[in-house]
Amino acid sequence: MAAVQDGQLNLEVEKDIKTEITNDGSGNINANSSSPGSTSSGGKSKSPAGSGEDQQTLLAVLQFLKRNKLTESVDILRREAGLSADADDSPVSESAGAGSGGVPSVGADGGDANSLLSRVSIATPVAPPDCGLDSHGGLATPIYFHSSNNCACTVVAASGGEDQPDVNVVLSAYSQQGDPVLYPLYYNGLKKFIESVLDCHRAELSQVFYPLFVHMYLELVYNNHENEAKQFFEKFSGDQECYYEEDLRILSSMSKKEHMKGNETMLDFRTSKFVLRISRDSYQLLKRHLQERQNNQIWNIIQEHLYIDIFDGMPRSKSQIDAMSGSLAGEGKRDANKAKVFYGLLKEPEIEVPLDDEDEEAENEEGKPKKKKPKKDSMGSKSKKQDPNAPQQTRIPLPELKDSDKLDKIMNMKEATKKIRLGPDNLPSICFYSFLNAYQGLTAVDFTDDSSLIAGGFADSTVRVWSVTPKKLRRVKSAADLSNIDKESDDVLERIMDEKTASESKILYGHSGPVYGISFSPDRNYLLSSSEDGTVRLWSLQTFTCLVGYKGHNYPVWDTQFSPYGYYFISGGHDRVARLWATDHYQPLRMFAGHLADITCTLFHPNSNYVATGSADRTIRLWDVLTGNCVRILTGHKGPIHSLAFSPNGKFMASGATDGRVLLWDAFDDVELDDFTAATGHIHLPENSQELLLGTYMTKSTPVIHLHFTRRNLLLAAGAYNP
């Protein structure tokens, strides 16, 4: 019974911590900050020196902040930690937590957050030091960083480059001395036990194997038991699920303590607790077993490095678990997926449909008003009906509609009436655009929404834009020529164009590395491209020149995308941080940190209030643009995610990964249910998903890089022909 109470206590404490932090609004930190092993609850593993050590770390951070004149953050941190002002005056060395082994965990959220942030800082060493409150709060866009987020940013900026002490802190948690010879025995013992439990618990408890295996191996490596580590690895690596093979490979190459420093995978394991979901019954079974056997080694690892999300109810089956597992850090926590997501669409602005329509013109005078009314009504009723799931219209500020946008919207509506209904019996036509002579250099493709332009990003750092309509691409005249134009004339928009520059394609030079991401603005005036050189560039499609180079990512930027309403865009790359930008700010408005590996794809929700990012850590995260919080962590893919798509109504999401599967997510609704399968469940395509497959169309020798449905439901595809 004691075990039960303990578990409950743990849960309660966790909840407390979590709610606190969620109130802070720092969702990214939240994901990693609390755990059953933290100071207050993890009674067993806590060494007597623990709290003192925590304080020391905190003090070190404070001092560091102070030295860098970040008084605001110092205040905040101090207030939250409840420290007196004079405490930090005592000379505490930077590496307070470094040298001293024997400290199992840094504990308090300050420390953990710090280590997490330092992880971030490893990836972004040179963030501008002032990307805080002041630079954004006062600007035209009333988007602000929440205080604690702000704090996060500044710490990132300040501690850039000096990650050494933190790494040591992180690593020192492994310095527990146990007899290395016993490790295989411990593991084997647990294995035997789990194999002998009831079937219904076995699948759940088997989840423990992988994280346990990794942490035991790392512990062995850290304590310089190289040979034992190798043997341990060889003995048990075969037992792990096949989808962890990639990680195991990285792990296997790490055989020395020196390798652990700076190894990203290792740090991921240490800084982020592996999340498991286990039913209460199974958990107690495990706990009782470990306590009976006095198997402290394993118990310690479970306490310190794993986050066990206990739920009441039936234990899950193997297939249920398999559907959710596979990510680098286990499943998403239930709490992380609880926030409400307003997935509905924003109300369309009411636009008067002009009467210059050809068929309407053909109609006689009397017919006109009749015709007009019902049409307007139908539109009006559609837009007036506020979707209960939609966010408030002004939840985030959106750019005003210009006249040209309205014209475009009208065009869109007209086209939409000609849309072909698709279905199993009515398959779309596919028009394939082949890039010839690309010499395997095509890396990204995008179509404009009206399908009039195609842009391609190439490995030779160029961006090329093609017009696929008879309308050629023209540049605006030079300033001198422009001054000669009669500005009052009706066709001024035509006149400013330089006929001499008309051509079917234009090349944009400016990047200094392969272009990996490309995105048109919805109004077709701009083009974004992200590249290996760490920049995102904004190009004007009027002048065909580069307007801004957004610097912030210091590593390759894998993907970028415009918001469906323009103005905002998102970028994500190797530094594991997704950034939200506005085109008129040279610094990011939001930084979404939390992914444990490269962000490989980014996508805006159709209502522009949320952003989805897919990552090589095999999770998809949904971020709230307003608060910067992570509102969903979707796990289930077994390989790096490489493409994302929202359904036009914003309710579903589809994701594709290198594991060869496409998952369809219905994860934004009914989260109040505690039934996790519904909460973050993707619609798992059954084995006979062949039935859902409507058609396969082979290309000759052309990998398909991009797909796009036109407004009339014609499918466009693009790829480079590789003879």
In the complex, minimum distance from the CB of residue 446 to other proteins, in angstroms, rounded to a whole number: 13
User: Closer CB to other proteins, residue 238 or residue 660?
Assistant: 238
Q: Which of 10, 443, 448, 529 binds other proteins (CB under 8 A)?
A: 443
Q: Does 438 bind other proteins (CB under 8 A)?
A: yes
- Under a CB-based contact definition with an 8 Å cutoff, are residues 274 and 326 in contact? no
Binding segment for other proteins (CB under 8 A), chosen from 29-37, 93-101, 128-136, 697-705, is 697-705
Amino acid at 422: L
Shortest separation between residue 425's beta carbon and other proteins, angstroms? 9
In sequence order, the 6+-apart residues with CB closer than 8 A to the CB of 284 are 3, 4, 7
| The one among 294, 403, 698, 723 contacting other proteins by CB under 8 A | 698
* One residue of 640, 650, 656, 681 binding other proteins per CB under 8 A: 640
Helix (H, G, I), strand (E, B) or coil at 561: strand
Q: How far apart are CA 355 and CA 138, in angstroms?
A: 44
Residues 592-631 that bind other proteins (CB under 8 A): 598, 600, 616
CA 706 from chain center: how many Å? Answer: 21
Does 532 engage in binding with other proteins (CB under 8 A)?
yes
Position 249 contacts other proteins (CB under 8 A): yes
| Residue 710 binds other proteins (CB under 8 A) | no
Nearer to other proteins among residue 85 and residue 420 (C-beta) = 420
Stretch that binds other proteins, among 35-43, 184-192, 238-246, 385-393 (CB under 8 A): 238-246
Minimal distance in Å, beta carbon 558 to other proteins? 6
Q: Which residue has the tokens 């002998």?
A: 196
Kindly determine how many residues on this chain lie close enough to bind other proteins according to the rule CB under 8 A.
Answer: 68
- Distance between CA atoms of residues 129 and 10, nearest Å: 38
Residue 404 tokens read as 């040209």
Among 44, 67, 259, 318, binds other proteins (CB under 8 A): 259
Q: Which of 103, 454, 663, 667 binds other proteins (CB under 8 A)?
A: 454
* Collapsed DSSP state (helix, strand, coil) of residue 466: strand
Q: What angle do CA 533, 706, 535 make, to 5 degrees?
A: 15
Write down the least CB distance from residue 325 to other proteins, Å: 17
E strands, 532-660, are 535-540, 545-551, 557-562, 568-573, 577-582, 590-593, 599-604, 610-615, 619-624, 630-635, 641-646, 653-657
Output the smallest distance, CB 106 to other proteins, in A: 23
Beta strands in 239-283 (DSSP E): 274-279
Where helices occur in 485-598 by DSSP H, the ranges are: 492-495
In this structure, how many other beta carbons lie within 10 angstroms of the beta carbon of residue 385?
9
Q: Which window, 138-146, 318-326, 401-409, 509-517, contacts other proteins (CB under 8 A)?
A: 509-517
Q: Does 709 bind other proteins (CB under 8 A)?
A: no
Given candidates 49, 181, 250, 502, which one binds other proteins under the rule CB under 8 A?
Answer: 250
CA-only gyration radius of the chain, Å: 28
Residues within window 12-41 making contact with other proteins, judged by CB under 8 A: none
Helix (H/G/I), strand (E/B), else coil: 184: helix
The DSSP symbol for 275 reads E
Q: Does 393 bind other proteins (CB under 8 A)?
A: no
Handedness of CA 76, 79, 82, 83 (dihedral sign): positive
One of 147, 658, 710, 713 touching other proteins (CB under 8 A): 658
Q: Applying CB under 8 A, does 245 fall inside the site for other proteins?
A: yes
Q: How many alpha carbons fall within 13 Å on the CB side of residue 125?
A: 6
User: Does 671 sit near other proteins (CB under 8 A)?
Assistant: no
User: Which of these ranges, 45-53, 106-114, 282-290, 454-462, lies near other proteins under the rule CB under 8 A?
Assistant: 454-462
Instruction: Indicate whether 697 belongs to the interface with other proteins (CB under 8 A).
Output: yes
Provide the sign of the torsion angle of the four alpha carbons 354, 360, 362, 365, taken in this order. Answer: negative
Q: Which residues on neighbouring strands pair with residue 706, listed in sequence order?
A: 718
Q: 467 in helix, strand or coil?
A: strand
Judged by beta carbon, residue 333 or residue 706, the one nearer other proteins is 706
Q: How far apart are CA 573 and CA 93, in angstroms?
A: 34
Q: Which of residues 551-590 bind other proteins (CB under 8 A)?
A: 555-556, 558, 574
The correct pick among 5, 196, 394, 437 for binding other proteins (CB under 8 A) is 437
In the complex with other proteins, the residue whose CB is nearer, 399 or 428, is 428
Distance CA 454, CA 464 (A): 8
- Contact yes or no for 668/341 (Cβ under 8 A): yes
Pick from 18, 66, 78, 230: which binds other proteins (CB under 8 A)? Answer: 230
Residues linked to residue 572 through DSSP beta bridges, in sequence order: 559, 578
In the complex, the smallest distance separating the C-beta of residue 719 from other proteins, rounded to whole angstroms, is: 9
> 417: which residues sit within 8 A by CB, 6+ positions away?
none
Rounded Cα distance, 646 and 159, in Å: 37
Minimum CB distance to other proteins, residue 468 (Å): 7
Owner of token pair 């017009």: 467
Of 516, 567, 569, 676, which lies in the binding site for other proteins, with binding defined by CB under 8 A?
516
Among 456, 566, 588, 614, binds other proteins (CB under 8 A): 456
- Whose Cβ is closer to other proteins: residue 185's or residue 507's? 507
Does the footprint of other proteins cover residue 699 (CB under 8 A)? yes
Least distance to other proteins, CB of residue 463, Å = 11
Closer CB to other proteins, 456 or 588, in the complex: 456
Take residue 109 and report the two structure tokens written for it: 């959220």
Q: Does 224 bind other proteins (CB under 8 A)?
A: no
Judged by beta carbon, residue 71 or residue 253, the one nearer other proteins is 253
As a whole number of angstroms, the distance between CA 115 and CA 105 comes to 11
Binding site residues, other proteins, CB under 8 A: 230, 233-234, 237-238, 242, 245, 248-250, 252-256, 258-259, 261-263, 426-440, 442-443, 454, 456, 458-459, 464, 466, 468, 505, 513-514, 516, 532, 555-556, 558, 574, 598, 600, 616, 640, 642, 658, 694-695, 697-700, 703, 705, 717
